[in-house]
Amino acid sequence: MSPTNYHKLLLIFIHGFKGDDHTFKNFPERLQQELTITLQTVEAESIIYPQYETRGDLKKAVEMFCIWLDNIVEEKEKEIRGKGDVWVCLICHSMGGILGADAILKYKYQTEYPSPKIIGLLAFDTPYFGIDNNVFTKAALVRANKVKQTASGTYTFLSNIAGGFFASSQTNTKAVENGPIETVQVKKQPASSSSGWGKIMAASLVAGAAAVAYYNKDLISQGTEFLGSHLEFVSVLFNSDDELVERVKNLVQIKDVYLHCYYTEIPPGGQYRETRTFIHLPPSDLKSYFSALTSMSQDEIDAHISIFNQDQTNGLNSIVLKEITEVINNYEKNEQTVAS
């Protein structure tokens, strides 16, 4: 590598709801090693954003992340001593993709000091438009029912939330009792329909509640205060359809930032005749920024939390390598356009 063309690419990994430093498994190390071989003029370095609390106000989490990123970039700039630039590509899982998106938008509108050069955001199973309305399937309900056996009080709290939202949105529900668990059926609506979004958000809240119960099965006995703070963190998923769409549209309008979201897709099989996804799919005008990753998992929640497991998700390494190259090419192309 020429000392006069020394660029540093920081691959910043951000976990999602109830994630931790091990969410990405050994993917950051694998990616850095392969990029070291592939890239000629850029040195890649993987850095995992330390585990943070996925509870309370998301805006506070964004503020804390930006402070941390500013310090990291400043440190790396001192290391390369002006020989090149420090670039940042955010690689995010689940709600981490929303945190990353909001951080990029925050930097866009602040002018007090220079912002980090974030050149890309690669999101994995980030529910930018909410959780799919069919996630609350028999499989998810079985998980919730297991929690019910050991934490009936907290589960009742979640069930009451679910029941209230289903009642207000006039969707068809099946009560979760001690007997056989049925799949909740929610009538699908076009993504552009406000009434449809209301139903989707209602279903998403129930799915989110089930996920909260599942992720916190070891802590659930601590009660509703703990769960309530986490529901506050994910409440951004239940904003109006306009707000959810606006976030992504604002992102794609930033020419210097390459955006793509990969989502898990379980092929038809067994009792399921259609593909299943964890996220609610984007409206037609934003579909080009989203791509499916085939998952061999048993259900949507398992696919979501095991997306970085090589045995569960097909072709992850090669796809991300290609995308990182595209991120760099996109940024360099835009830089050349500005210079000319």
- Using 50, 70 and 90 to split pLDDT, how confident is the model at 227? very low
Averaged pLDDT for residues 245-262: 95
Summarize pLDDT for 2-21 with one digit per residue, the tens. Answer: 445 578 999 999 999 888 88
- Using 50, 70 and 90 to split pLDDT, how confident is the model at 24? very high
Averaged pLDDT for residues 128-141: 74
Task: Judge contact between 140 and 300, C-beta under 8 A.
Answer: yes
- Residue of 277, 286, 19, 254 lying closest to 121 (CA atoms): 254
Q: Cα separation of 152 and 50, whole Å?
A: 33
Cα 72 → chain centroid? 22
Q: What percent of the chain has pLDDT over 70?
A: 69
Averaged pLDDT for residues 99-107: 97
Summarize pLDDT for 108-121 with one digit per residue, the tens. Answer: 988 888 899 999 99
Contact partners, residue 189, CB within 8 Å, separation at least 6? 195, 196, 197, 199, 200
CB neighbourhood size of 54 (10 A): 22
Q: What is the DSSP string of 51-98?
A: P----S-HHHHHHHHHHHHHHHHHHHHHHHTTSS-EEEEEEEETTHHH
**Coil, strand or helix: which one is 209?**
helix
Looking up tokens 């309900």, which residue turns up? 141
- Using 50, 70 and 90 to split pLDDT, how confident is the model at 203? low
Q: Cα separation of 308 and 16, whole Å?
A: 13
Averaged pLDDT for residues 293-301: 90
**Average of per-residue pLDDT values in the chain:** 77
Contact partners, residue 254, CB within 8 Å, separation at least 6? 104, 108
b/e sequence 247-286, b meaning 16+ C-beta within 10 Å:
bbeebeeeeebbbbbbbbbbeeeeeeeeebbbbbbbbeeb
Q: What is the pLDDT of residue 55?
A: 75
For residue 184, is pLDDT > 60? Answer: no
Q: Cα separation of 56 and 17, whole Å?
A: 12
For residue 320, is pLDDT > 70? Answer: yes
- Residue of 125, 127, 162 lying closest to 141 (CA atoms): 162
Averaged pLDDT for residues 24-38: 92
- Using 50, 70 and 90 to split pLDDT, how confident is the model at 46? very high
Q: What is the pLDDT of residue 66?
A: 97
Averaged pLDDT for residues 193-213: 51
For residue 213, is pLDDT > 60? Answer: no
Q: Cα separation of 87 and 69, whole Å?
A: 11
Q: What is the pLDDT of residue 205?
A: 53
Q: Cα separation of 206 and 131, whole Å?
A: 10
For residue 263, is pLDDT > 70? Answer: yes
In the chain, what are the helix, strand and coil shares in percent, each to the nearest 5?
50, 15, 35
Query: For residues 31 and 55, which has the higher predicted lDDT (pLDDT)?
Result: 31
Task: Judge contact between 184 and 139, C-beta under 8 A.
Answer: no
Q: Cα separation of 35 and 45, whole Å?
A: 9
Averaged pLDDT for residues 154-183: 40
Averaged pLDDT for residues 18-38: 90
Of the ranges 8-17, 35-44, 49-58, 211-220, the best mean pLDDT one: 8-17
Q: What is the pLDDT of residue 88?
A: 98
Domains annotated on the chain, with CATH: 7-130+242-339 (3.40.50), 138-240 (no CATH)
Q: Cα separation of 42 and 267, whole Å?
A: 37
CA distances from 82 to 12, 68, 139, 333 (A): 21, 21, 54, 21
pTM of the predicted model as reported, rounded to 2 decimal places: 0.76
